[in-house]
Amino acid sequence: MRLDFPPKYTEVIGAVKIHSLQKVYEIDSGYGTKTKNSQLNNSTISFGNKKISKICNEMAIVIPVKNEKLSLLEGVLSGVPNECLIIIVSNSQKTPVDRYSMEVEMVKQYSQFTNKRIAIVHQRDSNLGRIFHKLNYSSILDNYSQIRSGKAEGMVIGILLAKMHGMKYVGFVDSDNYFPGAVNEYVKIFASGFAMSKSHLSNVRVCWRSKPKVANNRVYFPRWGRISEHSNKYLNDLISYITGFERDIVTTGNAGEHALSMSLAENMDFSTGYSVEPYELINILEKFGGIINETTNSTKDFVEVFQIETRNPHFHENKGDEHITGMLYESLNVINNSKICNTEITKDIKNHMIMLQHKANNGSIKLNGNNNDHIMAPINTIPIDKFNELVIDSPQLLHLFNVQ
Ligand code: GDP
Ligand code: CO
């Protein structure tokens, strides 16, 4: 893969370096046998397949799924490079039709054909809830000691399973993507981001080139989704306020496709449901930006955030206006609740949220979230050996295919 390098500019906030958007020049830049793993010229860097493959070997790809079409999920699996460990965390229904069993069966067959390493688990399995309860990790549980529903909850389970399997990196890819080729590009972007990083704490965020829409019998390629436009704006307002310079560095506020090095992932808080992506940036700034707590500002442990633009368009299942309103509301809510958000920006966001509430009331949509109740604690508080032991002791919990 060949990308812009170095990034055009970098915003430095305490121990956080946020790089501006980098473009992909070649999705595949060859095997890379020449002298080194990476080749650098004046404005680009390339990583050969050998280097990408090496990183993929140490990377888990977590795929959250909830009642998606089986063929879509299978397509997504087909796009993930063979070296990666795939972890599917499902919240699909078990009654009246057992969609989860259908997923397990499909994955079983698929893994036999491809020799891919795949793990699949159900997020609401009571045994899993019991394990978290036993290990005192209650921030993921509901009042009945079951794991809450939500994409972020699924992601946290995925990170923990990745850590249990000794993975150094963890990437997230949605299961409702229509283009397996795009999935393949996302994973290679993750690997290239980690290859570029000079820190063991890194976050790679994907910016879609476009999200195609069909209207009036024509295909359009709008640049921004309906949520990103707003969450990017508020995140940029926040950063401009902190640095004192007005800039538009953030282009990936709601990127569903993103990756973290394990050393960063295990130290982060995660916000419930769909607000997880903007909160990831907020939490990095809270913990490492030196804004709230000066002591977190250390030069050794700096965080690098890469934002990389795909070549493929992003084409996923259309889930309607209600879904969009709810997601935007949750995203604005976590930005607004952050300790680093100032009153001026809060005022703008609150007005926007009131507007969304009116819209939701007219359409009788229920909006989630008004406080920070559902922030999940860092997973490094969980003793991983103990977790491993408890998972192995629950034989029906985790299905493993081609995984030792
Ligand atoms: P959008 O693409 O951001 O509009 O949101 P989606 O509704 O497509 O959800 C993103 C991904 O998360 C998809 O792959 C969903 O199947 C999955 N997902 C949604 N809710 C849950 C959940 O409660 N648990 C899990 N494990 N996955 C979920
Ligand atoms: Co989607």
- Ligand 1 site, CB within 6 A: 64-66, 68, 89-91, 123, 149-151, 154, 174-176, 256, 316-317, 319
Token pair 């990831």: residue: 280
Q: Provide the β-strand partners of residue 177.
A: 316
Q: What is the CATH number of domain 2-401?
A: 3.90.550.10
Each residue's pLDDT expressed in tens, for the chain with a length of 404 residues: 999 999 999 999 999 999 999 999 999 999 875 545 566 677 999 999 999 999 999 999 999 999 999 999 999 999 999 999 999 999 999 999 999 999 999 999 999 999 999 999 999 999 999 999 999 999 999 999 999 999 999 999 999 999 999 999 999 999 999 999 999 999 999 999 999 999 999 999 999 877 788 888 888 887 777 788 899 999 999 999 999 888 899 999 988 899 999 999 999 999 987 789 999 999 999 999 988 766 554 557 899 999 999 999 988 888 777 888 888 999 999 999 988 888 788 999 999 999 988 888 887 777 776 555 679 999 999 999 999 999 999 989 999 999 98
Give the residue whose CA is nearest to atom 1 of ligand 1: 256
Q: From the CA of 123, give the closest atom in ligand 1.
A: 26
Is-contact 278 334, C-beta < 8 A?
Answer: yes
Position 282 scores a pLDDT of 95
Q: Provide the β-strand partners of residue 31.
A: none
Position 326 scores a pLDDT of 87
Position 371 scores a pLDDT of 58
Position 169 scores a pLDDT of 98
Is-contact 242 341, C-beta < 8 A?
Answer: no
Neighbour tally for 10: CB within 10 Å = 14
The whole model's pTM is what? 0.95
Neighbour tally for 274: CB within 10 Å = 24
In the chain, domain spans: 2-401
174 CA distance to ligand 1 middle (Å): 7
**Which tens digits make up the pLDDT trace of 14-44?**
999 999 999 999 999 998 755 455 666 779 9
Position 370 scores a pLDDT of 57
Give the residue whose CA is nearest to atom 3 of ligand 1: 256
**Which tens digits make up the pLDDT trace of 257-302?**
999 999 999 999 999 877 899 999 999 999 999 887 665 545 578 9
Task: Return the best residue to mutate from 151, 176, 211, 226 for the ligand 1 pocket (most ligand atoms within 8 A of CB).
Answer: 151
Position 83 scores a pLDDT of 98
Position 361 scores a pLDDT of 81
Task: Return the best residue to mutate from 156, 176, 323 for the ligand 1 pocket (most ligand atoms within 8 A of CB).
Answer: 176
Q: From the CA of 177, give the closest atom in ligand 1.
A: 14
Q: From the CA of 274, give the closest atom in ligand 1.
A: 3
The token duo for 357 is: 């509430």
Position 58 scores a pLDDT of 98
Position 156 scores a pLDDT of 97
Position 369 scores a pLDDT of 61
Is-contact 4 42, C-beta < 8 A?
Answer: no
Position 262 scores a pLDDT of 98
Give the residue whose CA is nearest to atom 23 of ligand 1: 150
